Amino acid sequence: MKVAVPKESEPGEKRVALVPDTAKTLIAAGLEVSVEHDAGTSAYLADEAYEKAGVKVEDRAGTMLHYADAVLKVQAPRESEISLLKKGAVLISFLQPATQGDIVRSLAQHGITSFSLELLPRISRAQSMDALSSQASASGYKAVLMAADRLGKFFPMMMTAAGTVAPARVLVMGAGVAGLQAIATARRLGAVVSAYDVRPAVKEEVQSLGATFIELPLETQEGEGGYAREQSEEFLSKQRELIGEHVAKSDVVITTAAVPGRRAPLLVTKDMVKGMRPGSVIVDLAAETGGNVELTQAGKDVDVGGVTILGTRNVPSTMALHTSQLYARNVANLLLNMVKNGALHLDFSDEITKGSCVTHGGEIVSDRAKQLLGAAS
């Protein structure tokens, strides 16, 4: 079975879907692995490191993709890559089925068996394959460092001969995987942290990290599978009204709120930003899915009366070495779950295979992807 890893073509994407250490695991399982020349360079992984691990480094992706039985990528493939793949090949990557309708349809038309990491069921057995979590965790960590770098204040309380400095106040909105990692990181830096989520189930986790859980007199918005459900405009407007005073008191606000397959909910309005003290910083981790903050511009830093809003895109790519390492393990574990005695063995009675498969045998087979595509169009 041949596994191919092309260099990512999305501008700004520095991660690679397979690192040399993980390639060794695939090779030990009887697979033949090739990577495109320079595939790992932007993640500080040289071609020689892959060769040392037993990987074949190919000058160009074309032939390698054409003969591959499985292709591993970070970002969804482009049309030009899909047309190179052979019918029946397996593709594993982030596919963003909600926004990549054309790509998903093209994968089906080309007879590719594609798996979207966004659709992986969040069951215990799939935790080691959960790339959404590994990458969200990295984003939550980095969001705090970005905020600390831009804040004109210290995070910890400091007692100096020149006087005592109060600790920074950090508010984390959305306490899922990214939010919890942001809370832990901000606490490690010594900030006073509070957090809010529409799922009260996270209260204990927030508190166990040493942060205060903000409870608002609103009904819970717990949806399926531990995720939040889509909220009404009426709910969100009440939420903004109630959370306003907490935002105004904060030096740093980190927003991570998301509802799978939907535009990110609007949590912080223009007026709420204007109510913050100059010098404060907002990091909007939902920038790429519409933003949790009204004034966020994806990929840009915005200054609103001295308040900085960071809408950095693709935060995991800014730590490409570690995020590639984690991603590679996630992807390799998912692939190996579909391999028996060195050959592809697709078992659609396996919840993991069935849940994450988007296209197979010329069709879009995932109900969830169909739903997301329907909602998007």
**What is the contact surface with ligand NAD in residues (CB under 6 A)?**
122, 124, 127, 130, 132-133, 136, 173-179, 196-199, 226-228, 231, 239, 256-260, 265, 267
In the sheet with 113-116, reading across from the earlier edge strand, the strands are 56-58, 32-36, 2-5, 70-72, 90-93, 113-116, 357-360, 363-364
Which DSSP category does 170 fall into?
E
Nearer to ligand NAD, 239 or 308 (CB): 239
CB 21, CB 325: distance < 8 Å: yes
CA 245 → CA 250, 275, 276, 285, distances in Å? 9, 9, 9, 21
Q: What is the largest CA-CA distance in the chain?
A: 71
> Does residue 133 have an active-site annotation?
yes
**The dihedral sign for the CA sequence 13, 132, 273, 169:** negative
- Residue placing its CB nearer to ligand NAD in the complex, 106 or 239: 239
DSSP H helices, the chain, are: 20-28, 47-52, 61-67, 79-82, 101-109, 131-150, 177-188, 203-208, 233-249, 270-274, 320-336, 351-356, 367-376
Catalytic site residue from 42, 114, 133, 250: 133
As a whole number of angstroms, the distance between CA 251 and CA 154 comes to 10
Catalytic residue among 80, 83, 109, 127: 127
* CA 67 from centroid of its chain's CA atoms: 30
Closest contact distance (angstroms) between CB of 327 and ligand NAD is: 15
User: Closest distance between ligand NAD and the C-beta of residue 260, in Å?
Assistant: 5
- Of 133 and 185, CB closest to ligand NAD: 133
Residue 234 Cβ vs ligand NAD, minimum distance, rounded to whole Å: 12
Q: By C-beta, is 226 or 305 nearer to ligand NAD?
A: 226
* Torsion 193-287-199-352 (CA) sign: negative
Contact by Cβ (8 Å): 326, 299: no
Q: Of the two residues 132 and 372, which places its CB atom closer to ligand NAD in the complex?
A: 132
Report the nearest approach of ligand NAD to the CB of residue 163 (Å): 37
* Residue 127 beta carbon to ligand NAD: minimum distance, rounded to whole angstroms: 5
Residue closer to ligand NAD by CB (options 182, 319) is 182
Active site residue 127: yes
- Closest-by-Cβ residue to ligand NAD is 176
Which residue of the set 21, 38, 122, 199 is catalytic? 122
On whether the CB atoms of residues 259 and 227 are closer than 8 A, the answer is yes
The yes-or-no answer on residue 227 being catalytic is: yes
**Least distance to ligand NAD from the beta carbon of 206, Å?**
10
For residue 173, give the 3-state DSSP assignment. Answer: strand
Enumerate the active-site residues. Answer: 122, 127, 130, 133, 227
